[in-house]
Structure 1
Amino acid sequence: MSIPEQDKQRILQDIEQHGCHLILIEADNYLPAFVYSIGLYQKFGHPEIICFGMEINLMASLINEACAMIQNGEKLEVNKAYPDFLEGYPIQFLQVDKDFYQNYLGYGGRFYGSFDFPALQLVWPDKGSNFPWNENFNPNWKFKQPLLDRNTDFKFYEERNLGVFTTKQVLEGDPILYVSHDSDGDWQFHGSANADLEDAKIICMEDITRLDPSVNQIYHLQYGWNAWRQDINSDWEYEEGEEEEEEETE
């Protein structure tokens, strides 16, 4: 799918004037905000850059700073500490696995006409200068920035051993066709919207992705939303669920 001509011309103008165009995605009630570039590869032959989990204007500023460095002839490298982006804290870059492009770089793919371009992820540390892959990284920040060079088999912003609800029929081979992400954080993976509670089972989320890797497509399902499909080859459809009314207390 191509992008509207008016949008394409605006992107091209930004690339010409500033070196790149930025796509800013606000946080929702589940996923963090992120920002990525379009045009670094077209203008400089340099990988595009994506960043997650900080204030959106700060991320835009960091990518613009990277763009300025690239315009001056510097090629940003993976697994190298850069101390001058965030005052007092180093950042690093990771190579983005192409399996994540459609999830996070979709508009870039539409601009280029394919996902045949390189991309780097700008990764920031915690206040102790520990990165997400370090043992002492702040656990409260673990899911603020997914690491796009790994975990292509498990894209959810959850622990792999998180307990989730399913049914014995799914465990026996029925396809997962209905998923809910409850407002309290619980996940349910069923064969239909009318699953029988008597058939309920609890297993870890990683086992769900092993039973059916295609459920990774709905890693982004917000709190309080449902997703369903006609069969395992159909696209997912989405709907916000109705909020449960709290019981009145005297």
Structure 2
Amino acid sequence: MTDLMPLVQEYGQLCRLAHMTPAQRGQRFNGLITQTLQAWGIPAIESVRSAGEIDVAFGVDGARFVLEAKWEQNKANTGHLAKLQKRLKQRLSGTYGVFLSMAGYSAEALRDLTQGERLEILLLDRHHFEAMLSGLVSPIELLDKVCDHAAYAGRAYTTLTDILPSQGASGSIAACHDQLTRPDGTVYFARGHGVGKRAEGRIEVVGGGLTGTVKLHLAADEPGAVVARCHTTSPNHDYQVSLGATLADQGTPSHDNSRWADSERLSAATGAVAAVRDPDAAACSVADDGNHHPFEQSGPGTCACLACRNDRRTSDAYLVDAALSHGFQTLAVSTSVPFVYTIGLWHSYRQPEIAMFGLEPTHMNTMIRDYVRRGVNTAWPRTEQHIGGILDGHVVQVRAIHPSWNDALFGTLYRFYRGIIPAVHQLVWPDKNGLWQWEAGASAQCSSDQPSAWLSVDQHPQGGWQLVGKLDPGFPLSISPNHKVLTTRSIKNGLLAASMVLIEGGDIDVLDSRGYKADDFEVAYIGELTQLNPTLMLLDCERNSHKATLAGRRWSYRPASQPDRRSSKRIWDALTR
């Protein structure tokens, strides 16, 4: 998921009609909806001009939606909904309509829709849109809940308050990270990337686009006001946002944390996970006898994940089974540099998921499971605490992964937690001499095979892992951006263009017009070469033992010759021995 804060700030300008007319706001609103969906990784198109113009079209989990938006002072009436119904009839059966009216709906419109024929339209209002824009609820989770009410109860319109019901004696909201009650009884809660307010039985979105661990506090200089303090992986980047009566009133981020308590400034740096203060929101019961047991829900809807909903409708059903039976699952990702991460630790233990990079996958799997077993049976280690007994003869440690890596590395976590990804920590290992990757003299394998993922992607040192963070997901080749290839210094420096490629087993040679007669061979990452030579992104890397030659903007393929294969092996051996 990309940064929502700029979209939240633009939304505030639209609400205030800053330098625009209501008509201009309506036109820009379609773009804001599209960008919000795209920020969550949902393919969306603005202003589809065909049989009846559609404001926004998008797809979720194989379902197709067409959305009509209305931002006017008056509520949407039966005529507005009939217009969308007509456009649905012009499209493929099974396409769903979504009407978004910022002013809500007339009683007549709601009555006519529920008394009509088959329900094909879902109704959203300002509160629904602000929940998605702020990050309080992901679009996937919101649409899923709205569709459930429409399918099971025949309700086209379900309020945000009904989608996020309170639970337990304290009335907490499912999957909230922090909660604060003002003296007047108003409850503020942090959930996902947003903040909601519940007063007089209704929920209002008051903050959003927040990153890091969000903690709520009463403002010191304004009685009754509430602020959200966001703790990132670096205390120097922590910031504070003032919360207003609505999302449009949210203040601009302030990085002046000089008055924060030391414990607040250090919470993210030490990897602290926001506590679930409501005992009714505890995730699952855990047996502490050294064995894994089936987990029982201790409260309804404890988080937004597939396991809490017992949702086995997708290919991720095996993750649900693992989470409910064993607490978590490990997933190995076979890229140029393999990595393994957990799915389910947040659901089962309210602990960050764990990722490990650069070693043999079966070994990483064993070490991660040993780490979890230690946490369950004794205590969960703090970040940067040296941990023995996991890697033979050495200590390891965990560090909090910056959220900017989530899209590139943890796509399955997004699906399992349905759009709201929890914290992830990196299990870091030293080299054979006990040196950490950030220490002088650490081995090349230790330094390059593990990302320094506690840094943001932009702050990460240049190299293979930064390419992964910037180019994934969506890298068009079947190999990862940090796949090492044989090339020439002239191609890498942009002096000559790539015109020939040899694909042999796992080795790929990217050559210029000199072929194997070049005198400046070196090893580089395919990701950096595609940025200089976009035609490389059109390669079919699955054509083993083939040579590709560029003709215009197309690659032609023929079987690799024996002389080329021998030359490739000779140069690879010379560079890597």
Within the candidate set 235, 246, 250, 2:562 is matched to 246
Give the Cα separation in 2 of the matches to 1:187 and 1:98.
33
Q: 2:422 aligns with which of 117, 121, 128?
A: 117
Tell me if 1:228 matches 2:544: no
In structure 1, give the amino acid aligned to 2:319. I
- The residue matched to 1:142 in structure 2 has which SS? helix
1:180-218 deviation digits (Å, cap 9, x = unpaired): 797767668xxxxxx988xxxx9xx89x97xx69x9xxx
2:422 counterpart SS class = coil
Query: If the length of structure 2 is used for normalisation, what is the TM-score?
Result: 0.31
Q: Is the 8 A contact 2:319 2:329 kept in 1?
A: yes
Q: CA deviation at 1:38?
A: 0.2
Query: Which residue is 1:11 aligned to?
Result: 319
- SS for the counterpart of 2:384 is coil
Cα deviation, residue 70, structure 1: 2.9
Distance 1:82 1:12 in 2: 30
Worse-matched range after superposition: 97-106 or 237-246: 237-246
User: How far apart are residue 21 of structure 1 and its match?
Assistant: 0.8
Kept after mapping to 2: 8 A contact 1:84/1:90: yes
How many pairs align?
214
Distance 1:182 1:135, change over 3 A: farther
Residue 140 to residue 48, structure 1, CA distance change in 2 (3 Å): closer
Indicate the percent of aligned positions where both proteins have the same amino acid: 19
What SS is found at the alignment partner of 1:22? strand
- Work out which of the two has the higher radius of gyration on C-alpha atoms and give 1 or 2: 2
Supply the distance in 2 between the matched residues of 1:66 and 1:95 (Cα, whole angstroms): 15
Structure 1, residues 154-200: CA drift from partner, whole Å, max 9, x if none? 452599xx9755599x89xxxx9x99797767668xxxxxx988xxx
Residue matched to 1:81 = 386
SS in 2 for 1:68: helix
- Is 1:24 the counterpart of 2:332? The answer is yes
**Cα shift at 1:50:** 0.7
Separation in structure 2 between the aligned mates of residue 142 and residue 24 of structure 1, nearest angstrom = 20
Unaligned runs of 5+ in 1: 189-194, 216-225, 230-236
Q: Distance in 1 between matches of 2:488 and 2:456?
A: 19
| TM-align CA RMSD | 4.4
Q: 1:181 to 1:106 in 2, by over 3 A?
A: farther
Distance 1:158 1:139, change over 3 A: farther
Task: Give the structure, 1 or 2, with the largest relative contact order (CA under 8 Å, sep 6 or more).
Answer: 1
Superposed, which structure 2 residues align to 1:29-44 within 5 Å? Answer: 31-44=336-349
Paired residue for 1:192?
none
Name the SS for the 1:37 alignment partner: strand
1:92 correspondence with 2:397? yes
Q: Is contact 1:95-1:119 (8 Å) kept?
A: yes
Q: Alpha-carbon deviation of 1:89? A: 0.1
C-alpha contact (below 8 Å) 2:503/2:541 kept by paired residues: no
Report the residue type matching 2:436 in the other structure.
F
For normalisation by structure 1, the TM-score amounts to 0.65
Q: State the distance in 2 between where 1:143 and 1:167 align.
A: 19
What displacement does 1:35 show? 1.0
Query: Cα gap change, 1:124/1:8 in structure 2, threshold over 3 Å: closer, same or farther?
Result: same
Q: Structure 1: how far apart are the matches of 2:327 and 2:370?
A: 11
8 Å Cα contact 1:65/1:85 also seen in 2: yes
Q: How does 1:1-250 map to 2 (within 5 A)?
A: 5=313, 7-26=315-334, 28=335, 31-72=336-377, 74-150=379-455, 152-153=457-458, 154=462, 156=464, 157=482, 165-166=490-491, 227-228=536-537, 239-240=541-542, 243=545, 244-247=560-563
| Aligned counterparts of 1:23 and 1:70: Cα–Cα separation in 2 | 19
Determine the C-alpha separation between the residues in 2 that align with 1:108 and 1:133: 28
Q: CA 1:9–1:90 in 2, change beyond 3 Å: closer, same or farther?
A: same
Kindly state the Cα deviation for residue 15 of structure 1 after the two structures are TM-superposed: 1.6
Q: SS at the partner of 2:562?
A: coil
Matches of 1:34 and 1:146 in 2, distance apart?
Answer: 10
| Mapped partners of 2:439, 2:509: distance in 1 | 28
Contact 1:179 1:228 in 2 (8 A): no
Residues 142 and 6 of structure 1: CA distance in aligned 2, closer, same or farther (over 3 Å): same
Judged with a 3 Å threshold, the aligned counterparts in structure 2 of structure 1 residues 113 and 74 are, in CA distance, closer, same or farther, namely: same
